[in-house]
Structure 1
């Protein structure tokens, strides 16, 4: 684990929830990203334990996918903390447009939450007695932000860069450009000379140059074959739903492929398949790589 200042604590989470980054200052505390809704009670307890009696003053979301903001409402209820979100999403959150926020499109949960401020690219924030700058990180999500602490060489990257890749390039699935944005975001990260990256998923890492090389390689592969990007996206989405539900009858896998808007969009735009064909392909693929197993006519998380 790379060395971090005592004021920066990473609550590394398993899948469904993003990592939570707790920034503890002398006078104020902040949390970057809050995990998924079904883990919200656990998130509150983890934060409460780490704060050791301190209040949580502020939440900052790198982006508003459900696994990064699903604990916002529970933490607000527990602490009355302020919530800061990407400024480009403020109107959508104020109206609670679940289609624009992707929750309905992916059949994922996120309890409604209020916010207090929008964060714009270039804005400087004082969090955990450290100075951070918000930087635009489109690609995985058009409005995503990085948080960069130049003084400590720490980058909170959300889903823009992981140790082995990056998050699904969702805009491409709707016919919007995304691959070029991913590349621009990786190019930006390459200029920062980060000492350590705290990703949205997985452990913090220091081999940033190598991680960027892997990310560029993955991007080249996906951009060369948009169908592969689409196939990756539907596998990731179905695995997420399986992680949440633990067991899904095969008949419901077919139903999900027929009704979940993102799955419908992808199979019609890219895969030219029926819901039954996509369901069968997903089951074979998840079982084949050990991400799931069959228990009779039920798909079980593995």
Structure 2
């Protein structure tokens, strides 16, 4: 296959970024959203790797924007999948809580984890060895990958260039902030020249991004409501991206069916869900996360709309045993 190289794919929502380690044993880190599976295959082919040549898929964590292409690659090309052992247990048991898909209302097609990873495991690509670092916070089973020779760090949603992954206090625990801080502090001790994040551009100044993440998490410790606002806006914006916007008359009924919305309204903001609808809509507009267009609420982040026929299937882990 020639000299080893790292190829970073910065992708628009609803897909997360991907990293392809092009080596004797090619590794793909994360696979994007399910509706973009064909595009995922196209991207790695353009990079010079056939999907059936992939030695392994490694998932940084189990959210739909990172694992959505797993089904297509595993079913059609027999690619093996690796993930943290805690994620693997929920996935392989078809647990209803897997991927937080039910709570988030994010469709994910079924897949099986073949290799269960733990902290300090190693992944060999032929000429490179990546260390698996358990970096919980965004999810309990979140991992990052570190290659010490060239000082490369693949961080998933632990941190981004100027942001951090949203924290799910209802599914990952109220100490998610502390866990994230511990993960960021651990990573800050590594020598890192180049970092690749799950969203946004590659990170050319990793230490600055780590400091920015730490400062934000420390502020959140003092003002926990900021954690909830950050999460609500990210989750709802992703919903608007998946659905290519929501008509004004659909929004109330839709939000009231969502587990995440019910939990944040009642327990984070001490409001009845019906009261929280307008509060959230006002904040989405005020913060610039969404805008009204032709009586539809549309996310402002750049995205590629998922096909309606794919979204209409609405597959969740509770359906996996029958698909």
Matches within 5 A, 1:194-273: 194-273=192-271
> Could you tell me which of 32, 36, 44 is aligned with 2:33?
36
Q: Give how far 1:209 is off.
A: 1.7
Take 1:198 and 1:296, find their aligned partners in 2: how far apart are those partners? 37
Q: In the alignment, is the contact (CA less than 8 A) between 2:8 and 2:20 conserved in 1? A: yes
Matches within 5 A, 1:1-302: 7-26=5-24, 28-53=25-50, 55-127=53-125, 129-171=127-169, 175-302=173-300
Moved more, 138-147 or 44-53: 44-53
Q: Give how far 1:296 is off.
A: 4.8
Aligned-pair RMSD on alpha carbons? 1.8
Take 1:32 and 1:96, find their aligned partners in 2: how far apart are those partners? 22
Q: Give how far 1:6 is off.
A: 5.2
Q: Give how far 1:80 is off.
A: 1.3
Q: In the alignment, is the contact (CA less than 8 A) between 1:30 and 1:128 conserved in 2? A: no
Q: Give how far 1:172 is off.
A: 5.9
Query: Where do 5+ consecutive residues of structure 1 fail to align?
Result: none
Q: Deviations over 1:101-154 (max 9, x none)?
A: 300010011101122111111101102621111011011111111101001100
Take 1:278 and 1:41, find their aligned partners in 2: how far apart are those partners? 38
Query: Where do 5+ consecutive residues of structure 2 fail to align?
Result: 301-323
TM-score by length of 1: 0.92
SS of residue paired to 1:114: coil
**Cα distance change, pair 286–152 in 1 and its aligned pair in 2 (3 A):** same
Take 1:110 and 1:128, find their aligned partners in 2: how far apart are those partners? 31
What is the number of residues matched between the two proteins?
297
Bigger relative contact order, structure 1 or 2, given CA contacts below 8 A and separation 6+? 2
**Cα distance change, pair 296–273 in 1 and its aligned pair in 2 (3 A):** farther
SS of residue paired to 2:275: helix
Q: In the alignment, is the contact (CA less than 8 A) between 2:44 and 2:50 conserved in 1? A: no
Q: In the alignment, is the contact (CA less than 8 A) between 1:291 and 1:301 conserved in 2? A: yes
Take 1:81 and 1:263, find their aligned partners in 2: how far apart are those partners? 36
Take 1:171 and 1:127, find their aligned partners in 2: how far apart are those partners? 35
Q: Give how far 1:282 is off.
A: 2.3
Q: Give how far 1:223 is off.
A: 1.6
TM-score by length of 2: 0.86
Take 2:155 and 2:208, find their aligned partners in 1: how far apart are those partners? 15
**Cα distance change, pair 228–53 in 1 and its aligned pair in 2 (3 A):** closer
Take 1:255 and 1:149, find their aligned partners in 2: how far apart are those partners? 47
Q: Deviations over 1:189-243 (max 9, x none)?
A: 1111111111111122221221112111111222211112111111111100001
